[in-house]
Amino acid sequence: MFRRIRSYCLLGIKAIPVSVEVDAALGLPGFTLVGLPDNAVRESRERVVSAIRSVDKVVTGFRTTVNLSPADLRKEGSALDLPLAIGLLTATDELSVPNLEKCVFVGELSLDGLLKGVRGVLSIAMDLVHDKDSILVIPRENEQEASLVEGLRYICADTLKECIEILEQNNEELVCRARGLDRQKFSSGLDVPDFKNVVGMEGVKRALEVAAAGGHNFLLVGSPGAGKTLCARCLPGILPEMCDEEILETTRIHSCARRSGDMESFRPVLLRPFRTPHHSASMVALVGGGARLLPGEASLAHNGVLFLDELPEFNRSVLEALREPMEDGEISVSRASGTVVWPARFMMGAAMNPCPCGYSMDPKKVCTCLPDARKRYQEKISGPLLDRIDLQVSVPPVETSQFACGSGAETSAEIRQRVCAAREIQRRRFAGLSFRCNAAMNSEAARRFAQMEGATEKFAVASADKMNLSARGYYRLLKVARTIADLRHSEPVEIPDLAEALRYRAFRG
Ligand SMILES: Nc1ncnc2c1ncn2[C@@H]1O[C@H](COP(=O)(O)OP(=O)(O)OP(=O)(O)O)[C@@H](O)[C@H]1O
Ligand SMILES: [Mg+2]
Ligand SMILES: [Zn+2]
């Protein structure tokens, strides 16, 4: 008999509907699997047949053909185990499921019939929720994930046996309806250093406040031990909350990146990600790809911060690969099987010393580098990359005398309040538009929303000209000035806002 079972496959983070077509006919026993399966899918037959034996059913003895459609999409992973099992059981009349065409199955099976979680269920749920009649059938390990998508109808089970029992009963009461994200259920304290323990460094703190308020990229340059890494690590404490939509977007990427071993430990990403890849990171680790098309650090930092400490130590070609996402907020990787696009709208943060010895900007110590070495060091950061960094901040060493008087500084919570107020202004400004923060504006929006008076605009143009800013540099200047004006709740951008924004563009090393 012929049966068609609905399921899903992942391409990057996109969930693509797949059907598993099973035809079991009388004839010489045999099993053929076609439709571009990868090794994990090909092996699924062995798992499925033993899992089925564990529920005391027999599906062998038929001439079985299985086709995975669409035939030109590469199917990978173990999520097709469950649909294949249901297909074999129904095609051989061992099981009859009322409303089979409404059900969509995903899940891995173990030899003894346990249902195991798979990655990417959030993407699948987000796609399926638009189809009001459908029911998603998943392993219980994936329940938390499915329950985030409000309105989704789903069934979850621990074993194949339990799954079969639920399906046979066809009882509407056994179908759960997802209630959506419940922040309370998952909330946890934020464990990051607080700005109140950072002595002095008012200029740096202010720059990070501006960066957090508008989502701007930043670069901290200063002597060794000046506190660059420390300040950057305090940043998560002043970042604004994510809205529900942002949480789903980010969690979805993290869900697709999970390894099969950690399925139980699912948590939605409630706090903005703060990713700190090591400088030895490879291209695939940073931008994503590889054989399994997993997202990289840049995508995992979506809606949060990608912090690259010791920037010049990164491989130059790896850094150059970040230019595209820094501009467009997404990464596309082309493969023979098609193009995969990952969202990657992150705030890029970086820290570096001004020269190999580290002291060329130090007021007290003497730099011992040869001019050539210093030049080579700075050339590791390409012009186009530097051009995309809105806030270039020099970090002067703190006077030792300041340590004696203690910090007496503002807490991160106080700074965060101002950041959140500025973000709220932006949220209202961009209602109905595709941007969420000032940094994401395109050039047309930057000009429109900067709202400068004639004299202010003249000042902006004249200064940009004097500083030889590129066209991109000019618009980025406007965006930073917009954020600075938002921080003081001002509708128009004024000359002092521009002047501060210009100061952040002055890195020459
Ligand atoms: N302003 C400060 N207030 C309090 N502690 C500080 C301050 N600056 C530096 N420190 C202390 O110095 C340590 C080193 O600072 P940090 O690692 O941030 O330096 P860095 O600028 O990143 O240096 P490098 O260039 O070598 O990476 C911090 O862990 C912190 O304990
Ligand atoms: Mg450091
Ligand atoms: Zn030096």
**Local structure of residue 242 (DSSP, 8 states):** P
Pocket test for ligand 1, best of 192, 208, 230 (most atoms within 8 A of CB): 230
Pocket flag, ligand 1, residue 394 (CB < 6 Å): no
Note the ligand closest to the C-alpha atom of 224.
Answer: 1
- The amino acid sitting at 340 is V
Answer yes or no: are the C-beta atoms of 473 and 392 closer than 8 Å. no
Pocket flag, ligand 1, residue 200 (CB < 6 Å): yes
Indicate which atom in ligand 1 lies nearest the CA of residue 201: 1
pLDDT of 165-213, one tens digit each?
999 988 888 899 998 888 888 777 778 899 998 888 899 999 999 999 9
Averaged pLDDT of the chain: 90
At the topology level of CATH, where does 2-177 sit? Ribosomal Protein S5; domain 2 (3.30.230)
Q: Give this prediction's pTM.
A: 0.91
State how far the Cα of 348 lies from the Cα of 439, in Å rounded to an integer.
11
Indicate which atom in ligand 1 lies nearest the CA of residue 200: 1
Predicted local distance difference test score (pLDDT) of residue 140: 94
Residues 6+ apart with CB under 8 A from 261: none
State how far the Cα of 55 lies from the Cα of 386, in Å rounded to an integer.
62
Q: Is the peptide bond before 384 cis (omega within 30 degrees of 0)?
A: no
Residue spans of the chain under pLDDT 70: 260-264, 337, 404-407, 507-509
- Give domain 195-420's CATH architecture: 3-Layer(aba) Sandwich (3.40)
pLDDT of 26-36, one tens digit each?
888 888 888 88
Tell the residue number behind the tokens 């952040």, with chain if given.
504
Domain boundaries, the chain: 2-177, 195-420, 441-509
Three-state SS at 105: strand
Predicted local distance difference test score (pLDDT) of residue 263: 65
Predicted local distance difference test score (pLDDT) of residue 509: 41
